Structure 1
Amino acid sequence: MLGIADIDTADIEGIEEKEKEHPLQDRIRAEQIVQGQIFQEWVVSPTSMKLMIYGNFSSLMVETSALSIFCTTLIKAFRPRKHYLCLVWFCGRHLEYDDGSDSDSSDEEDDLDSSLYLGQYEEDNYSSGTRQGVIKRMMRSLIAQLLCDYDFGPRNLLPPGVDPELIEEGHSLSQLRHLFGWLVRQLPEEITLFCLVDGIFFYEREDFEDPMLDVLGDILELTTSDDVLASVKVLVTSPRPTSTVRVGFEDEDDSSDGAGETKTSILSMDLLIPSHVDVSEERVDRNLGVIEDERAREGLAESNLT
């Protein structure tokens, strides 16, 4: 019904094939992220968390960056682990819509005013020139990854208010957003869901921004909603500093005696200390394992004290 291919698998393979085209120092700096306290807290916290990581790469803007490579390493480390689910979307590899692999209508048709198809779904009515097709494709891919990686059992996987015909026809972003949020809320508390969105900088363009902000808002809301049982870890990366999206990672600190201080969940790669150690995907995976083992021991110690 979703009519979507294994985009994430193809993207990961494509990024790994071009890994050595990125400057070595950029790749080394990206690997250092796992040593940072902010990242480690994001990984091991038993509660839902969000994190943005951005670089300021000097190389020419291309579809991927050293952060994309870092994301592929995380995916390969997380997915084999029990009770972990990992969804990913690489924005820079999807700036155009039609690659001939899906059963959708053409890019031009899919980006038309949704009111031609929906009527009552006014929230799909973005301004003229907005390219919703790519964002709808992103949501269909995330939903498909979730359905493939987790067995929801024999239950009905369409919540009230979701029309299967609108999902299949691909004309309603609001329907896809509703379906994704509903599925995440069906996950049990022992599941940790990682949602990685790489290269968000590419979607800060005017023709992508409005639908992308709606989708990102939905995803970030999953980290704070009381009706989400699973731990949801959202990681958004960008090869360059962002202007609009970063607002979603800045929160007012209510405990500051009314001072209204802002605490951020943002990591700048400029703050990482330069290293001369060679690139090693195995070392990153090993470090992630060490971080998790330390957290598990801390949890066991706390349980014994109790």
Structure 2
Amino acid sequence: MANTTISPYHAVANPPVDFLLTQYNPQLALPIDQSILKFSKEADLFVGKDEAERLKREENELFAHANQEKQLLLEELIKYRERRHSPQVAAPLVPNVKCSWDDVIVALKKLSKEGDDNDTKFKKSLRAIGDNAEIFQRWLKLLPDGDYGATVSGAFKILLGVSAAQRSSDVRTAAFEALSEIPDVIQHAASYTYIYTAMKPKRLIEKTAALCSAVLIALRHIVRYFGDGSFKRALGALSRGPTFKEDMIQSLTTVKKLAAEVAEEANICQQARLQNMTTNMEVMNHNASSTHLTIQQGFSHLQSEAYVQRIGEEVHKRVVNDLMLLLATHPAYDHRTGQLLCLPSGVRQVKSSDAILSSDSESRNETRNVISTSGLIRLLRPSRLVVGDDLHRLVNSGHSLNLRQMDRVKWMMTSSNKIREWLMSSRSRVLLINGNSSAIESVSPTTFLASRLLTTLERMRSVISIYYFCSLHTPSSREHESNGTGMLRCLLVQLLEAGKPWNLSFLSEDDLDNLDGADLEALRNLVHNLIKRLPEKTVLFCVIDAVNFYERDDTRDDFLAVIDQLVFEVERSRKITIKVLFTCHLRSVFVREYVDDEDVLLVPERVDGDGQGWSKFTWQRTMGRQIEELGSSRSERE
């Protein structure tokens, strides 16, 4: 059985909280005393003990229906066990139908090794359960205290333990295909499990409870289909009409629907969390000043009972939560990886006074000083522009994708002509790839494909390539311009650095003041004027990855203004060729409106693959060769 690859981007669910609760540091009075404060995933904050208990009760209430379905499944399992029990042996008063998921894995491995079963569909179902076992176990651990996981695991183990004679039937094949679909559906919502590990807002708990209920109902229908009354009666039911089977299939459809909903809700919660971080930093500063406390003062007293009594529990909670926020938003901490970043030395905010007006070779013939290319770059460069590091990081990100995700990369390269047509077209074109996968992770199959494309293009002297990875520049990274304005500044810096020395005499003092103030209209005018001044027959590639991260309400307007400008340049280009690629982890809603139907590539929700994923050979045989052909055809034209 294949092992599910866990992305390193999810190695730690909530490192700031983990640090506060586990790291011993006497100077900072850490770890936090959990008899005073507890971290609540429901509130995404440290709260008092009473509040934590109230939130836990609220979660249990939301799982009330799931608890009822759990009892119904238990009853169905007990009835099934009693019917299958040998009449020569007295049945236990309360059959033990619960077990751990580890017991399921043992039974699965044992069953997989049996060599007397030639049913290909049956073996495929076993492999599917094994492939998704790790993520499914992770999901079971997310469920509330109780025996949800033990009950679900018990259902799997009982069905896996049916004798070979009983399994050799159409009923067996259909039931095991249905059984294997449940972990597979959870696998497709894998990113949600990582988010739910770190935070559990009420709406996400409701969606999780509904999904849990649906899984329990589906298992009950599978068990009933497998052995209602007796195995022979189940076979007879097939001849009378597939009512049991219809119920089973319908219940699985519900599971798939709810899994998609919970994944989408998790994405919304994650984006809202990131969006609020910058605002919360301002609140933190206000709290510190209003309570006449500094974070440093709070550090030394966090565990002091007298201190808590003096300032009160509410202020104590503020200090701890401010500390957590400080850790989460520190520029050296990357929430996506749970790792510390190495900041480049000399990083600082560029002011207008840093924009050097020179009388160098660019401007000797001018009657006034003209800003140099390097001066304009310094003026435009956001304070933490790291797009150069982005590409280096992402091109090596293949290890963070599992084989299913890599199969999606391969599908995009080999199963559609849209990318090839976009690449090889002699005219300027726009292409949107809707990846139809998870929007949560910063690295997706479309991100990896975009990074490989850009790396190959960079080796071609005959083209200019500029890019921006939206998922790597969000409010959580503490970039002040994680929006359309910041994106356009990044693109402009790359364009200026890629071209030969520019004659920037068209920029007036007012223009420079507006650019220094990050005026969006001034930035749009600048990109138009620079593209207009590119040499004839230039090929310009522009890749914007993960547009869904900037389609949120708070960043949408500026972002769509930039999208509008890029599409405008494509439509107006005559002397040069512009190829713009937009990618979306899910399905774009707003950028989609700027792209014609024939220029949209939609990746299927489920992609059939050979489990081998992406390889350099496949890349070179498809995309790499096409890019080389693009370079050759351009050289011939020149």
2:470 alignment partner in structure 1: 91
Paired with 2:513 and 2:635, the residues of 1 have a C-alpha distance of: 49
User: Is the counterpart of residue 55 in structure 1 residue 402 in structure 2?
Assistant: no
Q: 1:162 to 1:46 in 2, by over 3 A?
A: farther
Q: 1:135 to 1:293 in 2, by over 3 A?
A: closer
Which has the larger displacement, 30-39 or 159-168? 159-168
User: Is the counterpart of residue 279 in structure 1 residue 614 in structure 2?
Assistant: yes
Q: CA deviation at 1:82?
A: 2.4
Q: CA deviation at 1:75?
A: 0.7
Q: CA RMSD in A?
A: 2.9
Q: Which segments of 5 or more consecutive residues in structure 1 lack a partner in the other structure? A: 101-106, 108-131, 251-262
Map 1:103-118; keep pairs closer than 5 Å: 107=480
Q: 1:285 to 1:142 in 2, by over 3 A?
A: farther
The answer on whether the counterparts of 2:473 and 2:482 sit within 8 Å (CA) in structure 1 is: no
Q: 1:61 to 1:157 in 2, by over 3 A?
A: farther
2:592 alignment partner in structure 1: 246
2:557 alignment partner in structure 1: 210
Paired with 1:165 and 1:68, the residues of 2 have a C-alpha distance of: 35
User: Is the counterpart of residue 3 in structure 1 residue 381 in structure 2?
Assistant: yes
Q: Secondary structure at the match of 1:30?
A: helix
Q: 1:290 to 1:139 in 2, by over 3 A?
A: same
User: Which of 452, 474, 483 lines up with 1:134 in the alignment?
Assistant: 483
Q: Secondary structure at the match of 1:39?
A: helix
Matched AA of 2:469: F
Q: 1:283 to 1:197 in 2, by over 3 A?
A: same
Q: CA deviation at 1:231?
A: 0.4
Q: TM-score, normalised by structure 1?
A: 0.74
The answer on whether the counterparts of 1:201 and 1:240 sit within 8 Å (CA) in structure 2 is: yes
The answer on whether the counterparts of 1:7 and 1:141 sit within 8 Å (CA) in structure 2 is: no
- Cα deviation, 1:221-252, whole Å, max 9, x if unaligned, reads 111105x42100000000101222111112xx
Q: 1:271 to 1:22 in 2, by over 3 A?
A: closer
Q: Secondary structure at the match of 2:589?
A: coil
Paired with 2:390 and 2:546, the residues of 1 have a C-alpha distance of: 13
- Cα deviation, 1:85-105, whole Å, max 9, x if unaligned, reads 1111111111218747xxxxx
1:45 alignment partner in structure 2: 425
Paired with 1:144 and 1:19, the residues of 2 have a C-alpha distance of: 28
Which has the larger displacement, 153-162 or 284-293? 153-162
User: Is the counterpart of residue 15 in structure 1 residue 364 in structure 2?
Assistant: no
Q: 1:98 to 1:68 in 2, by over 3 A?
A: closer
1:237 alignment partner in structure 2: 583
Structure with the bigger RCO (C-alpha within 8 Å, sep 6+) is 1
Q: Secondary structure at the match of 2:623?
A: helix
1:73 alignment partner in structure 2: 452
Map 1:255-274; keep pairs closer than 5 Å: 263-270=597-604, 274=608
Matched AA of 2:425: S
- Cα deviation, 1:124-149, whole Å, max 9, x if unaligned, reads xxxxxxxx762221111100101111
Q: 1:157 to 1:239 in 2, by over 3 A?
A: farther
Q: Secondary structure at the match of 2:483?
A: helix
2:175 alignment partner in structure 1: none
Q: CA deviation at 1:26?
A: 1.4
Matched AA of 2:602: S
The answer on whether the counterparts of 1:74 and 1:285 sit within 8 Å (CA) in structure 2 is: no
The answer on whether the counterparts of 1:78 and 1:86 sit within 8 Å (CA) in structure 2 is: yes
Matched AA of 2:615: S
Q: CA deviation at 1:48?
A: 0.2
- Cα deviation, 1:247-279, whole Å, max 9, x if unaligned, reads 1112xxxxxxxxxxxx43100111896332442
Matched AA of 2:608: P
Paired with 2:526 and 2:394, the residues of 1 have a C-alpha distance of: 29
How many residue pairs align between the two structures?
A: 256
Q: CA deviation at 1:23?
A: 2.5
Q: TM-score, normalised by structure 2?
A: 0.37
Q: 1:80 to 1:162 in 2, by over 3 A?
A: farther
Identical residues among aligned pairs (%): 22
More strand by share: 1
Q: Secondary structure at the match of 2:394?
A: helix
Q: CA deviation at 1:299?
A: 9.2
User: Is the counterpart of residue 165 in structure 1 residue 513 in structure 2?
Assistant: yes
1:33 alignment partner in structure 2: 412
Paired with 2:486 and 2:634, the residues of 1 have a C-alpha distance of: 39
- Cα deviation, 1:173-223, whole Å, max 9, x if unaligned, reads 111111012111111232111100000011111111111111101001111
Q: CA deviation at 1:296?
A: 7.7
The answer on whether the counterparts of 2:407 and 2:614 sit within 8 Å (CA) in structure 1 is: yes
Paired with 2:389 and 2:632, the residues of 1 have a C-alpha distance of: 37
Q: 1:157 to 1:14 in 2, by over 3 A?
A: farther
User: Is the counterpart of residue 180 in structure 1 residue 558 in structure 2?
Assistant: no
Q: Secondary structure at the match of 2:579?
A: strand
Q: CA deviation at 1:294?
A: 5.3
- Cα deviation, 1:62-108, whole Å, max 9, x if unaligned, reads 223111111110111001112211111111111218747xxxxxx4x
User: Is the counterpart of residue 222 in structure 1 residue 602 in structure 2?
Assistant: no
The answer on whether the counterparts of 1:73 and 1:281 sit within 8 Å (CA) in structure 2 is: no
2:33 alignment partner in structure 1: none
Q: Secondary structure at the match of 1:163?
A: helix
- Cα deviation, 1:24-51, whole Å, max 9, x if unaligned, reads 2212222332332111010011110000
Q: 1:299 to 1:159 in 2, by over 3 A?
A: closer
The answer on whether the counterparts of 1:162 and 1:175 sit within 8 Å (CA) in structure 2 is: no
Matched AA of 1:2: L
2:623 alignment partner in structure 1: 288
User: Which of 496, 499, 518 lines up with 1:147 in the alignment?
Assistant: 496
Paired with 1:42 and 1:96, the residues of 2 have a C-alpha distance of: 32
Paired with 1:191 and 1:299, the residues of 2 have a C-alpha distance of: 9
Paired with 1:155 and 1:60, the residues of 2 have a C-alpha distance of: 41
